[in-house]
């Protein structure tokens, strides 16, 4: 495994700082910080960073590109209690690889992906936790199901034998106040719960907007650069 790009103390200090900010934001919203899962997004960073984060007590990490994800999972190997979250756009022809590596897939945004993940289950695979990614913009290229179709996607996915719908996921639009966008997301989460009552996860909030996400009820934050530092450039 490649060596850690920076001293572990630097990583530890950023992690502690973000966790303190999460706790403050939770208290400000009259929420229990313990009910919020902080996922550290490690994309573009070497596997050694995942190992170091695990040593620091991190149990939830996120990746957004299937090939990098699969390679990193192999390199990191079996770390006790570590959960890998796949947060990137999923392609149906990569469903088996994604399923083999992920504990949770945040990016089910069409029937085809739900069906591909379901069909990719191996005989002894556990049920896979999935979130329905909702598009908060008007641009279909941004990924996510259109809000109008969220109930039908929820109903379809809930009918997939090897998938368990846990809630919704979204990325805030670039050109809108994230607080307003996350308020809409919480109404889409309600719609999903009308179809799948136990689906109470809301995956929202990144480095720039996790405070607003917590205020709007996010249960899972996906935080990259505030913890891992700036992403190394990739060719």
Ligand X SMILES: *Cc1c(COP(=O)(O)O)cnc(C)c1O
Distances (CA, A) of 3 to 125, 129, 231: 33, 32, 16
Q: Which is nearer to ligand X, 218 or 223 (CB)?
A: 223
Q: What is the DSSP string of 35-80?
A: G-EEEEE-TTS-HHHHHHHHHTT--EEEE--HHHHHHHHHHH---T
Measured from the CB of residue 222, what is the shortest distance to ligand X in angstroms? 4
C-beta nearest to ligand X: residue: 224
Among 61, 22, 35, smallest CA distance to 212 is for: 22
Are 62 and 87 in contact by the 8 Å Cβ rule? The answer is yes
Binding site for ligand X (CB under 6 A): 41, 43, 64, 87, 171, 206-208, 222-226
Q: How far is the CB of 95 from ligand X (least distance, A)?
A: 18
Place of tokens 């009552």: 197
Nearer to ligand X, 38 or 121 (CB): 38
Question: Cβ of residue 107: shortest distance to ligand X, in angstroms?
Answer: 8
The residue (of 149 and 207) whose beta carbon lies closer to ligand X is 207
Instruction: Name the residue nearer to ligand X (CB basis): 72 or 222.
Output: 222
We find the least distance from the C-beta atom of residue 87 to ligand X, in angstroms, to be: 4
């Amino acid at each position: 495994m490649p060596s850690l790009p920076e001293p572990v103390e630097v990583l530890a200090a950023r992690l502690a700082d973000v966790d303190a900010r999460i706790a403050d934001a939770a208290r400000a919203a009259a929420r229990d910080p313990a009910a919020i899962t902080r996922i550290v997004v490690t994309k573009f960073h070497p596997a050694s960073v995942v190992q170091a984060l695990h040593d620091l007590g991190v149990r939830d990490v996120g990746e957004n590109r299937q090939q990098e994800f699969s390679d990193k999972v192999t390199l990191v190997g079996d770390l006790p209690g570590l959960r890998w979250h796949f947060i990137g756009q999923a392609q149906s022809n990569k469903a088996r690889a994604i399923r083999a590596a992920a504990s949770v897939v945040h990016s089910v945004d069409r029937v085809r992906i739900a069906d591909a993940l379901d069909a990719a289950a191996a005989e002894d695979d556990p049920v896979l936790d999935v979130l329905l990614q909702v598009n908060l913009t008007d641009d279909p290229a941004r990924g996510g199901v259109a809000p109008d179709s969220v109930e039908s996607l929820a109903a379809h996915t809930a009918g997939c034998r090897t998938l368990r719908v846990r809630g919704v996921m979204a990325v805030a639009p670039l050109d809108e106040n994230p607080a307003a966008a996350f308020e809409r997301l919480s109404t889409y989460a309600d719609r999903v719960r009308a179809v799948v009552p136990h689906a109470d996860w809301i995956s929202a909030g990144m480095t720039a907007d996790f405070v607003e996400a917590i205020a709007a009820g996010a249960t899972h934050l996906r935080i990259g650069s505030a913890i891992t530092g700036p992403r190394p450039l990739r060719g």
